[in-house]
Chain A
Amino acid sequence: MISFVLRRLLQMVPIVLSIAAVIFLMFSVIPGTFVSSMNDDGRSVMDAEVAARINKEFGLDDPVYIRFGKYVGQLATLDLGTSFRTRQPVTTVLADRMWPTAQLALASMLFAIVFGVPLGFIAALRQGSWIDTISMVSAVSGLSLPKFWLGLMLMYIFALVLGWLPSFGYGDGGIRYLILPSIALGVAPMALLARTTRATVLEIMNADFVRTARAKGMSEARVVQWHLTRNALVIVLTTIGLQFGTVIGQAVVVEKLFAWPGLGSLLVDSVTLRDIPVVQGAILVIVLFFLLINTLVDVVCAIIDPRIKYT
């Protein structure tokens, strides 16, 4: 069991490294540099001497392979480089932003799980009823609502009209500030979880071993309790793990909208400024978070499902 977890963690190393390489190469291919991005605002043009000094300081004149070599060398010592903009170590910049994004991602997934999974369960057990119809229609709508529009509507209703919750910002980090952005971000995964759960439960309801359970004289409630739940859980958990990735990716939009000081908004600002060390660092952290969550899900699935070997 412990060696299974360790092995899964070690497997993450090559994944992270290859992703680091892809990001690095991508940013050396796309047009625009740190210097050119500062000229882009059109207000002033940087002195050529200053530009040359900046490029020299950050080693931006070096060929790609040298810069990549340096970058990998830094990674080996867990150094993510220095931000072009703030001249702080990237690790420090990221450390401040990581917690708000983790908070937002966890809260929105919590929202998605608490509402989506039971909804899917009930819809499947009452297949064809009005509960089923309503929940599946709302699931499709939830999946197709644009996040920024949903976010604006939530702000308008709960902050402006009703005045129950703050409209944006991180505030003191309290839960009040977290509610609206988490809902805006959590509605899509909730809808998807509801649909997946429903499909999973319906499929298991038709499985041979459920027929066996009925042939044993079990009531439907017992069938659900003794035979259905655990089997459904394995698939639902895997979906939850994968949804985490989507949620962190889409947090960019919601963080921007709600002025949430997370990795997403940092990422957008840093891309615009071509603050490449920060961009690379932020993406790496997001990837790492996603991998960790999914490793956790795999471990839990292996505990539930004896067919999965601890190898």
Chain B
Amino acid sequence: MTGQALLEVEGLRIDLSVNGRRYPAVQDVSFSIRRGETFGLVGESGCGKSITALALIGLLRNPLSIAGGSIRFDGQELRDLSPGGMRKLRGSRISMIFQEPMTALNPLSPVGRQIAEMFVLHKGANWREAERQAVEALARVRVPAPERRVKDFPHQLSGGMRQRVMIAMALVCGPDLLLADEPTTALDVTVQAEILDLIRELSAAQGTAVFMISHDLGLIANMCQNVGVMYAGRLVEQRAADSIFLAPRHPYTQGLLASLPLLGARSKFGRKKLKEIEGVVPPVVAFPTGCRFNPRCHAATDLCRAEDPVVTPLPDSGLVRCHYHD
């Protein structure tokens, strides 16, 4: 790992406790993000992407907890921090935006006030000063008529506007790291591009590194320099964005790419059904033995069913976790 890495995650393990038994929901997850870099994490629902992000910001709640590994942020081990120390980091140096901008905002509080809280919490501003800065923050995320919008309640805004409020809130303190958990999934396609542009532009201006979670490969290809593919709590492939989309090595990554609808594909090749990966992500309490992907893998052998593959470096400095990576 390079010295300038902002975030270094090593062997992260997150346990789920069910009736006193602990199951690894996330295991052996290692990656690093440099300052100003955008790192994408892809995978199906339920494979551990969101809880990885929550672990990074220290917001895992029962029955989930960090059980092993290390998270180094700017040289500081986050697992060693006291709850109070972690709290000071949240919002100011590491912030997060969520998938559902409707429920992620307090319905009974004007959006301006919810942004203003950031200045009161982290800059020691008084409310009047904070409310004034909230107007500027809204203007920065290109909300029209921000001086009027600050008085609006979340239900009076559209989904896109609400997500802009979330972004304004998350970036207002100039954080070093922004965790974006499917920030555009709940939005109209036309709005998605605007929101992504906004995240890209503002994070670039402040030198903020972005940890972007999505199941949308197109989005990830567009936004990220490096990509991790997660399956059943493990990173199965980790490469530079251009190489992973050109030559995916793990059968799961290949499956994900093959299931992308291609514009015009139908007219070119006649009626063609979209490819899907058969089956579903196994639940945390019932991960299969051997390679966790083997029940759904088209190329699985007895070796895959018996033995867990190890992470193997690829010539292009990527990593893959598959017995048959070449």
Contact = CB atoms under 8 A, between A and B. Distances in A.
B104 A216 contact: no
A304 B108 contact: yes
Given A217-B121, A218-B121, A209 B106 contact: yes
A216 B95 contact: yes
Contact of A217 (B98, B109, B122, B156): B122
Interface string B171-208: 00000000000000000000000000000000000000
B59 A216 contact: no
Which of the listed residues A215, A234, A306 has the most CB atoms from chain B within 10 Å of its own CB?
Answer: A215
Query: Which of B59, B104, B105, B108: most chain A Cβ within 10 A?
Result: B108
A209 B105 contact: yes
Interface stretch (B86-94, B307-315, B318-326): B86-94
A127 B190 CA distance: 44
Interface majority SS (helix, strand, loop, mixed), chain A:
helix
B107 interface: yes
Contacts of B169: 212, 216
Interface in A183-238: 207-209, 211-219, 222, 226-227, 230-231, 234
A216 B98 contact: no
A307 B153 contact: yes
Interface in B21-66: 57, 59
B72 interface: no
Contacts of B98: 208, 211-212, 215
Nearest to A219: B87
Interface string B95-130: 110101001111111000000011001100000000
Nearest to A305: B108
Contacts of A209: 103-107
A208 B103 contact: yes
A244 B200 CA distance: 55
A231 B107 contact: yes
A219 B104 CA distance: 17
B85 to A, nearest CB: 11
Give the residue among A209, A213, A217, A307 with the most B Cβ atoms within 10 A: A217
Given A216-B90, A218-B117, A306-B155, A211 B107 contact: no
A304 B103 CA distance: 18
A219 B169 CA distance: 17
Interface size class of B (residues with CB under 8 A): 20 to 34
Interface residues of A, number: 22
Contacts of A218: 87, 91, 117, 121
Nearest to A213: B106
Contacts of B90: 214-217
B83 to A, nearest CB: 9
Given A208-B103, A226-B117, A215 B96 contact: yes
Nearest to B166: A212
A213 B106 CA distance: 9
Nearest to A226: B117
In the complex, which of the residues B106, B155, B169 has the most CB atoms of chain A within 10 Å of its own CB atom? Answer: B106
Given A226-B117, A306-B108, A307-B153, A215 B103 contact: no
Nearest to A214: B59
Interface string A284-311: 0000000000000000000011110000
A304 B107 CA distance: 11
Contacts of B117: 213, 216, 218, 226
B109 A227 contact: yes
Interface string A28-40: 0000000000000
Contacts of A217: 87-92, 121-122
**A-B residue pairs, 8 tightest by C-beta:** A217-B91, A217-B90, A208-B103, A216-B91, A209-B106, A306-B153, A215-B96, A208-B104
6 contacts: A208-B103, A212-B105, A215-B59, A216-B95, A227-B109, A306-B153
Interface of B: 57, 59, 87-92, 95-96, 98, 100, 103-109, 117-118, 121-122, 153, 155-156, 166, 169
